[in-house]
Amino acid sequence: MRALFIGFGNVGRTIARILTLERSRFPGMSPLDDLVPVAIVTRRGGSLVDTKGIDLGLALEEMDSRGRFPEGHPGYTDITGVEAAGSLDYDVIVELSTLSIENRGEPAATHIRTALSRGRNAISANKGPIAFSYRELSSLAKSVGKKFLFETTVMDGAPVFNLRESCLKGCVVTAVDGILNSTTNYILSRMEEGVGFAEAVKEAQDMGVAEADPGNDVDGWDASAKISALANVLLDADMTPLDVDRHGIAGVTPADIRKAAESGKKLKLVCKAWKEKGKVFGKVGVEEISHSHHFSLVSGGGAVLRIHTDLMGPILITQENPDLYDTAYGVLGDLITLRQLCY
Ligand SMILES: NC(=O)c1ccc[n+]([C@@H]2O[C@H](COP(=O)([O-])OP(=O)(O)OC[C@H]3O[C@@H](n4cnc5c(N)ncnc54)[C@H](OP(=O)(O)O)[C@@H]3O)[C@@H](O)[C@H]2O)c1
C-alpha cells in the first residue's frame, strides 16, 4: 500500500516514530510492515518523493534535527500538496496538514478531492474537510468505490465513527454532545484552581497544548469544527463551523468560575448538535455543569462525547489526557482498516 503523506508535523512524525524507531514496542502494527511511503509533502520544510519508498527513519531524523528536509536528501522536491495529490502514483493520501477555518478547510479538502477523483483512498486527521465538505467528499468516495476514513478528527484515536459504524447498526443518532476541545478544558480547569485566564492560556501554550495564536481554541472555532464534523457524519447534516452558534471562553472571568463553584458546578465549553423538525443545529458555549454530571469529571486535556440514539444509549466515550500517540493511532488504525479491506 503506497502512501502519500501531506504534512509531517507532530502527528506525521509520531506516526513515523512508531513505524521505525519504536516499531518493536508495537507488535500490532505488523499489517503496516509493507506500507510504502512514496511521498511526504510539507508547506515550508520541503518535500520528498521516492517511488521505491522513503526512508521514514531518516526523514524523521532530519525533520527533528533541522526542522526541514535538506535539499541534498534523495528525492528532495518543492512539489505542493495539490500537485502531489494530482500527479504522483499512490494508493492512499494521508492528510495531516493544518486546519484552516479562514480557508474553509482548504487546501486539505482539495488534496482529498483530487485523490478520490483519481480513484485513490483518503485518510484525514485534519477535521477541515469533514467539517466543511463531508457530504461532497463522502459521496465522491462512494461514487468511485474508494474509502474516506477520518477517525482521528474528533477524539484522536478513541473510536467515534468506527463505533457508530460497527456497533450501532440500525440505530439512528438523534443528538451528540460533549467536551471536545482540550485546550479550553485545560484553561477552565486551571482557572478553577485560581490561575488567571491569561496565565492559563500561556501555560497551555508553554505545554504545547495551545497554539501560538490560541484563537482557534479560545474562540470556539476548533470545537465548532468538531461538532460540525460530528453533525455531518452522524446526523447527516450539511453544515460548516460557520453555521454553529458559537461562543468561546474569552469572556469567562474568575468571578464566573467562583459563582459556579458556589452552587456546586463547574464551567465547561460544551459542544452539541441535535435534530429538530428535520433540521440539524450546532452549538458551542460555556455551560454550568453539576459535579454529579459525567461531563464534570473531564479535566485537563481530557474529552468526553455522548451519543444519543433512538434505540441505544446515551453512550459515553471518555478520554483521559490523550497524547500524540493516541492521535497517531487514529491514523494508523485507519491505515490498517484500509490495508485489511483493500490490499
Ligand atoms: N496534534 C494533535 O494531537 C491532533 C489531534 C487530532 C487531530 N489533529 C490534526 O492533525 C493535523 C496535523 O496536526 P499536527 O499537530 O501534526 O500539526 P502540525 O504539527 O502543525 O503540522 C502540520 C504539518 O502540515 C504541513 N502543512 C500545513 N499546511 C500545508 C499545506 N498546505 N500543504 C502541505 N503541507 C502543509 C506543515 O508543514 P510546514 O511545517 O512546512 O508548515 C506541517 O508539516 C491537523 O489538522 C490537526 O488539527 C492533531
CB 114 within 8 A of CB 90: no
* Residue 68 alpha carbon, nearest atom of ligand 1: 40
**Mutate which of 41, 43, 329 for ligand 1 pocket (most atoms within 8 A of beta carbon):** 43
- Residue 335: CA count within 13 A, CB half-sphere: 29
- State the pLDDT at residue 321: 86
Q: Is 98's C-beta closer than 6 angstroms to any atom of ligand 1?
A: yes
Query: What is the 266 CA–ligand 1 centroid distance (Å)?
Result: 32
Query: What is the 330 CA–ligand 1 centroid distance (Å)?
Result: 15
- State the pLDDT at residue 207: 81
Query: What is the 2 CA–ligand 1 centroid distance (Å)?
Result: 20
Residue 273 forms beta bridges with which residues? 176, 282
Secondary structure letter of residue 53 according to DSSP: -
Average pLDDT, the chain: 95
Q: What digits encode the pLDDT tens for the residues 66-88?
A: 999 999 998 999 999 999 999 99
Angle at CA 140, nearest 5°, toward 137 and 142? 110
- State the pLDDT at residue 300: 80
- State the pLDDT at residue 163: 96
- Alpha-carbon torsion 247, 175, 122, 154, what sign? positive
Q: Is 6's C-beta closer than 6 angstroms to any atom of ligand 1?
A: yes
Question: From atom 8 of ligand 1, which residue's Cα is the shortest distance away?
Answer: 125
Query: What is the 7 CA–ligand 1 centroid distance (Å)?
Result: 5
**Can you tell me which residue has the cell 476514513?**
149
Q: Is 324's C-beta closer than 6 angstroms to any atom of ligand 1?
A: yes
265 is a catalytic site residue:
no
Alpha helix ranges (H) inside the chain = 10-19, 56-66, 81-87, 108-117, 128-144, 152-155, 161-167, 182-192, 197-206, 215-218, 221-234, 254-262, 324-342
Lookup: cell for 157 = 484515536
**Mutate which of 5, 98, 106, 331 for ligand 1 pocket (most atoms within 8 A of beta carbon):** 98
Burial tier of 15 (Cβ tally within 10 Å: 0-12, 13-18, 19+): buried
**Mutate which of 5, 17, 42 for ligand 1 pocket (most atoms within 8 A of beta carbon):** 42
- State the pLDDT at residue 96: 97
Angle at CA 257, nearest 5°, toward 251 and 261? 155
Of the residues 146, 226, 265, 266, which is catalytic? 226
pLDDT averaged over 10-residue windows placed end to end, the chain, 343 residues = 97 97 97 97 97 96 96 94 98 96 96 98 97 98 98 96 96 97 92 93 84 87 97 98 97 93 95 96 97 90 94 93 94 97 86
Question: From atom 19 of ligand 1, which residue's Cα is the shortest distance away?
Answer: 9
- State the pLDDT at residue 287: 97
* Residue 326 alpha carbon, nearest atom of ligand 1: 3
Specify the DSSP element, H or E, that contains 315. strand 315-319
Model pTM score: 0.96
Who's near 307: CB < 8 A, 6+ residues apart?
A: 163, 164, 168, 173, 176, 234, 313, 314, 315, 317
d(CA 85, CA 71): 21
Alpha carbon distance, N-terminus to C-terminus of the chain: 7
Amino acid letter at 287?
E
Helix (H, G, I), strand (E, B) or coil at 81: helix
Query: What is the 12 CA–ligand 1 centroid distance (Å)?
Result: 8
- The structural domains of the chain, ordered by start, are 2-157+324-342 (3.40.50.720), 173-319 (3.30.360.10)
